[in-house]
Amino acid sequence: MPPGVPWLCPPVPPDPLVPPRFLIGREKPGEQSEVAQLIQQTLEQERWQREMMEQRYSQYTEDDEEVTGHTGLGGHGRDTPRCQPCPTGEYATDEEEEMSPMFPSGEMAIEVFELAENEDTLSPVEMDPEKLVHKFKELQIKHAVTEAEIQQLKRKSLEQEKARWRAEKAQLEQSVEENKERMEKLEGYWMEAQNLCQAVDEHLKETQAQYQTLERKYSKAKRLIKEYQQK
């Protein structure tokens, strides 16, 4: 069971043929979340797998009875699987040797070791098919819940990334606006300085014109005074 979501997994119903109803979180009646849909799809797939497991179990039981009958009559029959020594000290049949290339020894050892520590050892011969089906359903539900949690974490991470990107975008836009306002203020100051310089230049030109006029008047008055003194 993944930590943090014990309420996602309902108890297994006593009758596996009755489809259970799931209520995830605060969902309204008539609505199904992504987790509930995944669980419903998993349960639908399990119906077919359950029938296949029961057929294989019954076939395995019949084959075991036939092998036991041949052995009791005396000698090893032609259909009796040969036993070969295994690295673990046990004996494996020809059927197990044919299946062994599909599962490397290292992975099998790791899976058996993890099951020995975390889960109870499951034996198809010792356990009832209903218990196997219930155990398989529990594992399927855990897997569906884990997948849903992974999807939720991905969506949450994506939303956080979008929120961070939006915050950075808003900050950049604010900085651009502030710089734009500052440039507009500087441009206004520059225009005021230009107008002031133009006004000062015009005033200087007027002052120079007045000075030239006064200088001409002064020269004329000085000349008239000099002529008057000569007379």
Give, for all 231 residues of the chain, the pLDDT tens digit.
Answer: 444 444 444 445 455 555 555 454 555 556 666 667 777 777 878 777 777 877 777 777 776 666 565 544 444 444 444 444 444 444 444 444 444 444 444 444 333 334 434 444 445 555 677 888 888 888 989 999 999 999 999 999 999 999 999 999 999 999 999 999 999 999 999 999 999 999 999 999 999 999 999 999 999 898 889 888 887
Residue 73 within a domain: no
* Residue ranges making up the domain that contains 184: 127-199
In a domain, 155, yes or no: yes
Q: How many domains does the chain have?
A: 1
In a domain, 82, yes or no: no
> Which pair of structure tokens corresponds to residue 18?
């009755």
- Decide if 180 is inside a domain: yes
Q: Is residue 221 part of a domain?
A: no
CA dihedral of residues 161, 162, 167, 169 (deg, nearest 10): 110
Examine residue 61 and state whether it is found in any structural domain, yes or no: no
Question: Is residue 75 assigned to a domain?
Answer: no
Burial 168-199 (b: 16+ CB within 10 A, else e): eeeeeeeeeeeeeeeeeeeeeeeeeeeeeeee
Whether residue 144 lies inside any domain: the answer is: yes
Place of tokens 């006593």: 14
